[in-house]
Every structure is written in C-alpha cells, then in structure tokens.
Structure 1
Amino acid sequence: MNIDGIKSLSSDSPNNRFLVGRTPFFASTFDQRFSFGLYIPLCHSSDGIELPLLVIVHGTRRQTGGYLNRLKDFSENHHCAILCPLFPAGIIDPDDIHNYKNMCYQDIRFDLVLLSMIEQASKRWRLKIDKFFLHGFSGGGQFAHRFFYLHPERLAAVSIGAPGRITSPSQEEPWPAGLCDIQRLFQISNIPNYGAMGSVPVQFVVGERDVHTKQLASVKTPSNAEREAGGNRVDRMGWLKNAWAAVGIQTEMTIVPKVGHDGLKCLPHVESWLKPLVDAASC
C-alpha cells in the first residue's frame, strides 16, 4: 500500500485545530478517487495512548455525515476514533451505485482501499489498527460481512446491519453469491478461515419492520441462499446467522422494535453492543 508522504503535523501547525472533533475528508493516497473522514475525540494526544478505531461503512446513499454526527458522544465517552470511508457512486461506470459492496470491481479492490485508509489515518493519529471495529448498514452491511470473509484477523468485532443481498458460506456458487472462487479472485490464501471468523464477536442488526421486498425483488438473479432465505432482510439475516453457525461462527441477532430500514434508528443498538468491547480495547 503506497502511503508515502503521509506525516503527522507539527505541534505548532495552524491546521491542528481541524484534526480533533469532526475532521475534513482526506483523499486516499492509495487511490485519490476515494476519501475518508473521522471523528477524533478530544482526549487524543499525539504522544498519548492509541485509541480504538470504529469504521462505519455507508449505505447506497453515502450518508456519512449522519454517522459522524450521531457517533460524536460515543467517540468522546468511550475514547474511540470513528472513521467513515467514502466510496463515491459512478466510479468507472457513471451509472453504477453498488460496486463497492462486492469488494472488487474491475481493477478496484475496495477491501484494500479501506485498509489503506486505516493505515494512512494511523500516520496522523494515534490509533489501534492491528484490529478495528466495523459496522455497516444496508449496502454497508453487504460490505461488512464480505470484508469479514476476507480479513477476519483484522477485526476486533463486526456489526452487520440489514444487508439486502448476502454471501453464503457455500462453496457451490461464485462470489458474491458464494465462496467457490474466493481465493482465486482475491489472491488471499487460507480463506474462508472459519476458525478466525469464529473468534470475532458478530452482531446482526435489523429493524423489526424491515420486511418490504420491492427493492430486493428487482434483482434478476438472486443467489440460491437468497431464494432459500426469503425475500426480506429479516429473513435473510436469520438464514445467514444459521448458515454461519453451521460452520462455527456464533453471532448475536438484534431485531429493533418498530423500526424499518433505517440505519440511524438501529445505531443505538449497535452502540450498546459495541460499548463493552470498545471499553475493553481502550484499557
């Protein structure tokens, strides 16, 4: 990952005031088509302890600002940095809005783009990056559970919110429906590593009323798992929970009462689940 030229700002730099609280968005030095923003708690010090890192991956509408604003108190109260990548729509194909969800698109590896952003951020802030926390909702939930298949050793915990499309642990279908070609496609040996995945705390979170199927039914070629699981997100998450349990990955399922397909309304339940894990990482 090429992150040459990234350095910490000097202590007397006038730009330091922008490096705590909600930061500007920074271009990725790995690929400047992509960028990321952070919330850095006021307790951060350039010579202090490394802070746990929570990565939030946006959904199809790319509403990163809502997450950075809503997680301010979580960041301050639990001494945790928040990072939100931005994968813009229309990269290569001007009409495409989905490509980041599958981890790869033509010559782009979105998992590597994210890892490079994390490494880049660690050159400027004191962050724990050997293992980080990950949450995504909707399109971000698709990203999060597929990233988990590829890089379980990098995750301290993962919270997967209401993905419309799911990747089965089956070896019978190609990516992103299944895993039969995962090693060849990503050039990563020893994946899927169910032992490593089984050691990571996992939350599934979905709204109780997230049962509308019109958008999901528009997909012309649902996977075998999606046909078997059913047409709504609650059913598909329950199916994936059981499929992962069969290969040794234990998960928790949070169904949020009276909520539909709304990531921000589910977010308090994600925070509650993450709190003890993040606090333990802060020690």
Structure 2
Amino acid sequence: MQELGTSGAAARARAVYDYGHTAIFASTIDPRLHLLLYVPPAAADGRKIDLLVAVHGTGRTSAIEFRDGFAEFGLYNDCAILCPIFPVNVIGDGARSGYKYMQEGDIRYDLAVLSMVEEMAAKYDQDWSKFAIFGFSGGGHFAHRFAILHPDRLWAASVGAPGSVTLLDPNRDWWVGIRDMEARFGRRLDHEALARVPVHMVVGDADLETWEITHKPGSAYYMEGANDAGETRPQRLEALASSFRAVGVNVTLDKVAGISHDRMKVLGHVKAFLTKVLAERRMK
C-alpha cells in the first residue's frame, strides 16, 4: 500500500480538520480564546461564501451546539459558521460573564471577534469584511452590544433572549446606556450604519425565570437602572426592540409560543430570518 507523501498528508489533514466540522483552534492574537467552525465544501472549491458568527451562552457548550445546529443552514446557503469560545475564568478570577459586557481585564471581546474573523478570512481566502452575528442568552448580550459598537461590520444581527440589555440611552452609562461608550470603547454610536443592519430578536414567551437576570446591589454588574428594562427576558427584549426602532432600525421580533429558555428551539426562527436576509443581500 502506497503511503501518502508529505503534501498528500497535509492536504488530507486540512480536509479533515479545517473543513466541514473543524477542530477547535486557539486565536492567534490571544490564545486564551478559542474558536471552532463549520466550513462548507464550497469554500474548499474556491467559492466565495458568507459568514455567521454564533456566540455561546454562559455554559459555553452551546458553541458546539450552534456550530452543529447551523451546519445544514451553512451547507445549503454557502455560509461558514464561526463560534468563538470565551472560557470561564479566563483571567483567573472565576468570572463567567465578562464577555457579555465586551471588556474583561485586558480583553476586549469585540476586538477579539474581529481578529478571529480576519484570521479565518485569510485562512480560507474569503472576504468577510461584513458578517452576521447571532447569540442566545449570554450570547444575546454579546450580539446586540457588538451590533451597537460595530454596525458597519454586519449584514445582519439576531439577538436571542439576553438576560440584560443595553438601551440606546444617551443619558446613562454603559452597560445600561451608551453615554460613555466612546470613552470606554473609542466608538460612537453610528445611527445610520445601525439602521442599515436587519435585526432579528427572538425569545420564548414562557422564558420567565428571573433568578439569573435580576441585578442586585453589590453584584458584579449592578448599576443604577440595571433592572429598568423589565423583569423578564421577553420584557427586556421588547424594550431593546423599541430602543433600536427609535433610531430607525428594522427589527423583526419573534416571541415563540410555549418556549422557555431553550436555545435550540429558537434556531429555526433564526435560520428563516438569515436565509431571507441572505437572499435579499445576494440579489443586490
């Protein structure tokens, strides 16, 4: 039996680990952070494809669930799926939620995602200067705050059941509002760019548990106004939708009947939205 040559072995390894359901990679710019992808066969054939970044919740395991859950969507829509992994305890203090608010210690998670996208775009010879973003629960925190900070990088955003929301309130500081956003992140709110992003928001109408989302004085992210957007996730997402619509954003809000805090049961709504946006995008 003839053995594979060096180039043949490298090609086989690339096919096994870099395409389809990929291995887990460390980010080159910050190896504390990781990512995995679904890359459809079209990319291996040299076709230009789109990109969806899907962000996990607090448990982190949904990174793999989202990669696998969106794989069929990616296959039939020529769209890669990139799932960042932001570990718990990444700066050694046991914290679980830093990524949701965009900054933790020396880490800017929005910039980390941008670097991951750029690194993978170069790896797969793609133009991912614009991409879509989705997140559920903790990932929903991330997705809408990323859209506020970087609307110019997005062709769509889908926000699933965040526990807390940042309203476009110029009279309150981050994270409740955006008054000091430029001082914190070096980014002003670009109303016009945000208004050009089709935005989807989704939550189960039975997603009513409040034990994890009620901010109490003395807790890590408590600040004045922390609970003002509503008591439950549906109420808070409705407040976010109203805030986005007030600056001209086209928001599709799906309240899914009979569903509680179940990420996999809302993916069909997310896929339907993204499929529609992709079709419209490709007709231009």
TM-score by length of 1: 0.90
Distance 2:223 2:161 in 1: 16
- Listed one character per residue, the Cα deviations across residues 33-63 of structure 1 (whole Å, up to 9, x for unaligned) are 00110001122236x2221000000000002
1:3 is matched with none
**8 Å contact kept, 1:103–1:110:** yes
Supply the AA of the counterpart residue of 2:29. Answer: F
Q: How does 1:59-138 map to 2 (within 5 A)?
A: 59-63=57-61, 64-138=63-137
2:238 is matched with 238
1:15 is matched with 13
| C-alpha deviation, 1:209, in angstroms | 0.5
For residues 281 and 143 of structure 1, do their structure 2 counterparts lie closer, same or farther at Cα, with a shift above 3 Å needed? Answer: same
Q: How does 1:192-203 map to 2 (within 5 A)?
A: 192-203=189-200
1:278 aligns with 2:278: yes
Supply the AA of the counterpart residue of 1:149. Answer: I
- Unaligned 5+ segments in structure 1 are 1-9
**8 Å contact kept, 1:53–1:128:** no
2:225 is matched with 224
| C-alpha deviation, 1:222, in angstroms | 5.7
Supply the AA of the counterpart residue of 2:14. Answer: N
Matched positions, count: 270
2:149 is matched with 150
1:50 is matched with 48
| C-alpha deviation, 1:219, in angstroms | 3.6
1:210 is matched with 207
1:264 aligns with 2:269: no
Supply the AA of the counterpart residue of 1:251. Answer: V
Secondary structure at the counterpart of residue 39 of structure 1? strand
| C-alpha deviation, 1:225, in angstroms | 6.5
| C-alpha deviation, 1:124, in angstroms | 1.4
Q: Which structure exhibits the higher relative contact order, with contacts defined as CA atoms closer than 8 Å and separated by 6 or more residues?
A: 1
Supply the AA of the counterpart residue of 1:69. Answer: D
Distance 1:160 1:223 in 2: 24
Supply the AA of the counterpart residue of 2:22. Answer: T
1:5 is matched with none
Q: How does 1:154-193 map to 2 (within 5 A)?
A: 154-188=153-187, 191-193=188-190
**216-225 or 167-176, which deviates more:** 216-225
Secondary structure at the counterpart of residue 261 of structure 1? coil
Distance 1:56 1:85 in 2: 7
Calculate percent identity across the aligned residue pairs. 36
Secondary structure at the counterpart of residue 149 of structure 1? helix
TM-score by length of 2: 0.90
Distance 1:218 1:176 in 2: 12
For residues 164 and 210 of structure 1, do their structure 2 counterparts lie closer, same or farther at Cα, with a shift above 3 Å needed? Answer: same
